[in-house]
Amino acid sequence: MSTRTPVVELSDLVFSWPRQRAACLDLAEFSLTPGEDVFLHGESGSGKSTLLALLAGVLLPQQGVVRLLGQNYDDISSARRDRLRVDHIGFIFQQFNLLPYLTVLDNVLLPCRFSARRRTQSKDAHATAERLLTHLDLDRSLWARPATALSVGQQQRVAAARALIGRPELLIADEPTSALDAARQVGFLNLLRSECAASGAALLFVSHDQRLAAHFSRVVSLPQINRAGGIGEAA
Amino acid sequence: MSALLRLALASAWNRRLALSLTLVSIMLAALLLLGVARVRQDVRDSFSASVSATDLVVGPRGSGLSLMLYTVFHIGDATQNMDWRSAQWLAAHPAVAWALPVSLGDSHRGFPVLATQSAYFQRFHYGDDQALQFAQGHAFGDVFELVLGSDVARAQNYKLGDKVVLTHGSGANIGAEHADKPFTVTGVLQATGTPVDRTLFISLAGMEAIHLDWQAGAPMPGVSIPAQYVKKFDLTPKTVTAVMLGLKSRAQVFAMQREIAAYKDEALMGVMPGVALDQLWEVAQLGERALMFVSLAVAVVGLAGLVATLLAGLDARRRELAVLRSVGASPRRILLLLLLEALTVTLLGTLAGWAALCAGLWLGGPWLQANYGIMTKAFTASGSEWLLVGGMLLAGLVAGLIPAWRAYRLSLADGLTPRL
């Protein structure tokens, strides 16, 4: 991976939701270089989730270009976008990341089931999953248990292991710490950063909580770069 | 695909209570649908198998249907008999190969008694032109000898040599017993799956003999003729209920029918068994169609339940679908996932229904035959049954499209963040 090619980049992007006249997002430029860790800040309703959906290729902008590893989303089919996404991006959401009917280990292995690339990259997927879970301080006794048997903090660490397996180039974390208490937030954050550093993944950490910004090498405020003035999505 | 299958199974297992209830309702629907189809087929088969090789049934002019009902099915009572001389005329007719006069009216513990000639056991054919076979013994010869259908022998536990007392009349018009003139069992027929199994056979002379001292349906007061003296009397019948005819050539059926209708000495008619059976079947079909309609409606209800369960489950599963999207499942795969689920539940439910039907007929078949004379086959699947199974699966697939399409729309709209 050349350091010159951004992991993800967008330029001159305008996006508005259907049946809304005003644009939701209007961004001149935003990008992440490989291995970079960025804190994206914005209040709820500022269009953060919309931006993430655009970066992930789930939504397409009305104007402008979004590229993942140099590939313009607009040039490829939705099926290709789905494949590209799972091949190169790991996700951690606010909560309820896990499928309740799978064990902890099977949840971690999910991306390898859908992506040949992630499967190949992780070599022995099982061993890799076990190594990640151990790294993230999840005891072996929990691995075979259903995901719902875990505490919220534990679930978030399982989600992190799942996002990291198969070494995706980008890790998108959407408010991953907001369900955790303050003491655990920093612990989880550090864990996430060190794991991303270890696997060489760029980290886009999205939160409304500005206190966390200090832990990142770059901080971007969405309201400041959004020329549309941040008319958020419906939710 | 196998990853999707495993996920589908794990996900379905997670919702096993709701899904298994749906499965049970589909199973019951399939059971009913296939059961009606199966029993209909079996009833139709036993129905049309009840008589064969008989070209015409001749009786007093009236309803052809009721003539068939009492001569072939031994149900109901003949209101009118035909003269013995007419029977003799038919037997001697040059176009006639054989004629079997039959007389009905008496019964034994609810089973009808048919008086005929011993040639009946060679001439009367059923099913696919099959002749009657004796399981034990032989045809009646003497006046007070009797042959039993297999059900009668089994139900009453009769053996060769047993004495059997007949009862005057049958059904609602049951009268006194012919207790002074018991009959001896000389033969038991093999099971045929036709009304023959439920019938007792005696000679026409025997029928005449037990009624020697009777008049107008009751014993004559003060007159009693002991069994040992009956042979001193003329035991030729005065009347019979009907005559079954086999013609030398089937081509003569219509000519013979016309000739019978034009017979001067008595008002007669000749009925073709096939035609009358079809008429009878048409009557039965009304009920059968209603039954089929009801079972189709039940199938629709079962599938509607499936759709409702899957749709209701979708709202709770939006988070699951979003997670699946985030790990690389395309909306199309999610559509497939839901479709797979609907199809699997339908498939399992239908197969379970079919298995339950086979098991039920295997266990209940003997009872059905004993009580209703319906011969059922437990372990078969006719072409029309496969068609129903296929139709059920197709309907399940189409029904599954509703929740699958909604899941597809939801996962497109929600992307990675379900709006709850």
Domain map (residue ranges) of chain A? 8-225
d(CA B169, CA B179): 14
Residues A114-124, mean pLDDT to the nearest whole number: 85
CA A191 to chain centre: 15
Which residues of chain A are within 8 Å of residue B10 when distances are taken between CB atoms?
A: 99, 101-102, 106
**β-strand partners of A26:** A14
C-alpha closest to that of A191 among A110, A107, A92, A120: A92
Which of A58, A112, A164 to mutate to probe the B interface, most B CBs <10 Å?
A58
Contact B419 A234 (CB under 8 A): yes
The pLDDT of residue B373: 61
The domain made up of A8-225 is a member of CATH 3.40.50.300: yes
pLDDT higher than threshold 70 for residue A233: no
Is any Cβ of chain A less than 8 angstroms from the Cβ of B323? yes
Buried b (16+ CB within 10 A) or exposed e, B100-130: bbbbbbbbbeebbbbbbbbebbebbebbeee
Token pair listed for A39: 């804190």
Q: Does A182 touch chain B (CB under 8 A)?
A: no
Q: How confident is the model at residue A22 (pLDDT cuts 50, 70, 90)?
A: confident
B14 touches chain A (CB under 8 A): yes
**Antiparallel, parallel or unpaired: β A218-221 and A37-41:** parallel
Rg (CA), chain B: 31
Count chain A–chain B contacts defined by CB atoms under 8 A. 72
Of A78, A86, A97, the CB nearest to B328: A86
Which is nearest to B108 in space by CA: B204, B199, B190?
Answer: B199
Q: Where are the domains of chain B?
A: 2-47+284-414, 50-279
From B7, B328, B330, residue closest to A111, measured CB to CB: B328
Distance CA B316, CA B175 (A): 72
For chain A, helix, strand, coil in percent to 5 are: 40, 20, 35
Residue-level pLDDT, tens digit, chain B, 420 residues: 577 788 888 888 888 898 899 899 999 999 988 888 888 777 777 777 778 888 999 999 988 888 888 888 887 777 788 999 999 999 999 999 999 999 988 888 888 999 999 899 998 888 778 889 899 999 998 889 999 998 899 888 998 999 999 988 776 667 788 888 899 999 999 888 788 888 999 999 999 888 887 776 677 777 778 777 787 888 888 899 999 999 999 889 999 999 999 999 999 999 998 888 888 788 778 888 888 888 889 889 888 988 988 888 888 788 888 888 888 788 888 898 889 888 989 999 999 999 998 898 888 877 776 666 666 777 776 777 888 889 999 999 999 999 999 888 888 777 777 654
pLDDT-derived band at A4 (thresholds 50, 70, 90) equals low
3-state DSSP assignment of residue B268: strand
How distant is the Cα of B286 from the closest Cα of chain A, in angstroms?
50
**What confidence score (pLDDT) does residue A1 get?**
44
Q: Of A144-158, A203-217, B31-45, which gets the smallest average pLDDT?
A: B31-45
**Between residues 42 and 81 of chain A, which touch chain B (CB distance below 8 Å)?**
49, 52-53, 56, 58-59, 78-79
Give the whole-angstrom CA distance, residue B366 versus residue B357. Answer: 14
The residue in chain A having the minimum alpha-carbon distance to the alpha carbon of residue B12 is: A101
User: Mutating which of B1, B11, B14, B323 best tests the A interface, going by the most A Cβ atoms within 10 A?
Assistant: B323
